Amino acid sequence: MTDSNSSPADTAELRERLAIIESMLTEGRSKTESWGWSFVVWGVAYYVATAWATLGEAKFAWPITMLAAAAITSIGAFKTREHQAETTLSRAIGIIWMAMGCSLFVICICVASSGHAEQHVFLAMIETALGTANVTSGALLRWRVQMLVGIAWWVAAASTCFASIPQTGYIFLGAIFVCQILFGIYMMVGEARQRRASAARSGASHA
């Protein structure tokens, strides 16, 4: 409700500010969608690391695969940022994901090299971290889809704690497919639609 004593000028200014905020959130979601490819890359990386560890090289599987995925992401990020102007919101979201990635990288190396990689705790830890990053990013952008993805990761983490060892693997692989690969493809499709809409508007304005 607005104050009955507020002037039309104050009301107009408030609406303008709300419109600016909504525009920033929309732009933030659009920029996040442009990173859909990285979700797919990391989803595939998790599959590779899991398969590699299952074959008996668990000590090296996760660190090497994570380094390779990080290198690919860095190259793609450099090209993506060439076409995007950085904003405070995009910088904050980028820091969240960078911190999450660094945390997982450090703990995965330490756990794998120490030989204490108990499967329930190890997988639940990864699922919880991914859930936290997605929920935080989705909350900042007011993007319910990404928040639901984060909640799905948390559900996977909780389920992992009570599952048998074979079941934990199925839960993790299923969560990767839904929350990384499918969500990444969803983001890429959204970005493609945005590009087509922008191209159509540009063409109409020059017609």
How many CB atoms within 10 Å of residue 205?
7
State residue 184's pLDDT score: 94
Instruction: Say what the pTM is.
Output: 0.78
For residue range 180-202, list pLDDT tens digits in order. 999 999 999 988 887 787 777 66
Query: Widest CA span of the chain, in angstroms?
Result: 72
For residue range 142-193, list pLDDT tens digits in order. 889 999 999 999 999 999 999 999 999 999 999 999 999 999 999 999 888 8
State residue 77's pLDDT score: 79
State residue 13's pLDDT score: 62
Non-local (6+) Cβ contacts of 141 within 8 A are 25, 28, 29, 32, 89, 93
HSE-up (13 A, CA, CB side) for residue 114: 10
Segments in the chain below pLDDT 50? 1-2
State residue 203's pLDDT score: 62
